[in-house]
Structure 1
């Protein structure tokens, strides 16, 4: 397995099956153009097998941390350690970029994700609640 940082839209499109839905051209270009946005893809025999995205966030009294936005591993490659390897690679990149930490959210019932994050060194934060706002595109 080889993990590569992606900077080209063509590479994203070639790994489209790893995303929840097909990547949008404009959104992909905006994501890749921002040096604080990171996309890593794991390859097995040159085939895209998994991906992780991270976004650096800076706050005046905290500094910069990395948010693990999404992790996806192709179903046929699951159970081979690709997910934890991608998370660890993002953690390494976070350190290189001067981030003081890395964090993510997942559903309480998503046992596979929780196990993956624990295997990569993550610890659950007790008592946390996620709140969302959804905006209509009218």
Structure 2
């Protein structure tokens, strides 16, 4: 496998990776996301597959700035094509995001995941993260 990770800057590329997201791609949300310099979307490509423009993984994140914490990178979503899982693609995307967070001057990076999502937890631990604190999430849906 020859992995290539690139930042996504246009909606057409996002659509080529629609299979990597949890929900259907919303064109207006895509344009808004891509327009913000503090939003980041990276796609992973395996140059050894039949179509080198077919993304096999993605990671999305946003820089969050707070008056007393500075700027942190929030890892919003990580997705790897089912046929490409368990090959280190998710970990490579996380490491690329860590590098980007450092380049952007972030003081740290964080992510939340479900307690039973063993694969996600293993991926994050393999990249140097340690979940030393319990995490509780509350959500509001509108």
What TM-score, normalized to structure 1? 0.95
Other structure's SS at 2:122 match: helix
C-alpha displacement at 1:119, in angstroms? 0.6
Unaligned runs of 5+ in 1: none
C-alpha distance in structure 2 between counterparts of 1:128 and 1:113, whole Å: 14
Residue 57 of structure 2 is matched in structure 1 by: 50
**Regions of 4+ moved over 6 Å:** none
C-alpha displacement at 1:63, in angstroms? 0.4
Query: 1:125-136 maps to which residues of 2 (within 5 A)?
Result: 125-135=132-142
Select the residue among 32, 36, 39 that pairs with 1:37: 39
C-alpha distance in structure 1 between counterparts of 2:140 and 2:17, whole Å: 29
Matched, 1:77 2:84: yes
Select the residue among 102, 111, 122 that pairs with 1:104: 111
Other structure's SS at 1:94 match: helix
C-alpha displacement at 1:128, in angstroms? 2.4
C-alpha displacement at 1:22, in angstroms? 2.0
C-alpha distance in structure 2 between counterparts of 1:30 and 1:6, whole Å: 13
C-alpha displacement at 1:120, in angstroms? 1.1
Provide the aligned length of Structure 1 versus Structure 2. 135
C-alpha distance in structure 2 between counterparts of 1:132 and 1:86, whole Å: 26
C-alpha distance in structure 2 between counterparts of 1:75 and 1:86, whole Å: 15
Select the residue among 10, 27, 30 that pairs with 1:28: 30
Unaligned runs of 5+ in 2: none
C-alpha distance in structure 1 between counterparts of 2:141 and 2:25, whole Å: 20
C-alpha distance in structure 2 between counterparts of 1:28 and 1:36, whole Å: 14
C-alpha displacement at 1:82, in angstroms? 0.1
